Amino acid sequence: MTYPSSKNSIITLDDWLDTPLGEYIRAWEQERLDALTADIFGFNAVQIGFPKLHALRANRMQHRWLSDMQAPQPAKHGQASNPHKASVVHDFGELPFASQSLDLVVLPHVLEFANEPHQILREVERVLIPEGQVIISGFNPASLWGLRQAAPTGWQG
C-alpha cells in the first residue's frame, strides 16, 4: 500500500521513508516499537498496515500477523522484495478477527491516512480482549509534515 492515499499529496510516505531522513525516522521508530512490544504477553497480535515497519519483530506472542489492504506487490527490477509480507488482506474498517480475540494491535501510520479513522478504532476496540493493548504511531497532522501534505501540489517546502 502506498501511504498516504490522497491523490493530491506531494510525496507518499513510502517514497519519503526511502530518503536518508526517512530511513533515520524509520530506524528510530523501529527501535521504539521493539522496546514497546518486547514485554507485551498474550497469544495473538496483529500489525495493521505499513509493512515497511516490523512492529511485532521483538514481540514473543505465539501468533503474530501483518495485515494490509492489498496483497504485496512483486519487487521491481533492482529492488529487494520485502520479506515482511501481509498474511491477511482486508479493509481496515472491517477487521477479519473474532470479537475479543487479540491481545495486541499495532497501528503504525494508519490513522493519519485513513478515510475513516474512527471506524478503524471501533474495529480495534471490538477485536481486543479486555485488558488488551493497542499501540498507535503516526505523524502529528499539525506538524511540518502535516502542513506539507495539506499544501498545494506545487509547494515543495
The residues near 91 (Cβ < 8 Å, ≥ 6 apart) are: 69
Fold annotation for 13-71+85-150? Rossmann fold (3.40.50)
Q: If you average pLDDT over residues 2-9, what whole number do you get?
A: 42
Give residue-wise pLDDT tens across range 12-67: 777 878 889 889 999 999 999 999 999 999 999 999 988 888 999 999 999 999 98
Give residue-wise pLDDT tens across range 106-138: 999 999 888 899 999 999 999 999 999 999 998
User: Rounded to whole angstroms, how far apart are CA atoms 87 and 85?
Assistant: 6
**Chain mean position to CA 75:** 20
With 80 as the cut, is the pLDDT of residue 8 above it? no
Per the model's pLDDT, the better-predicted residue between 77 and 4 turns out to be: 77
Spell out the domain ranges in the chain. 13-71+85-150
3-state helix, strand, coil in the chain (%, to 5): 30, 20, 55
| pLDDT recorded at residue 9 | 43
Task: Tell me the one-letter amino acid at 35.
Answer: A
| pLDDT recorded at residue 50 | 87
Given the C-alpha cell 497480535, which residue does it identify? Answer: 45
Give residue-wise pLDDT tens across range 68-100: 876 655 555 555 545 556 667 778 888 999 999
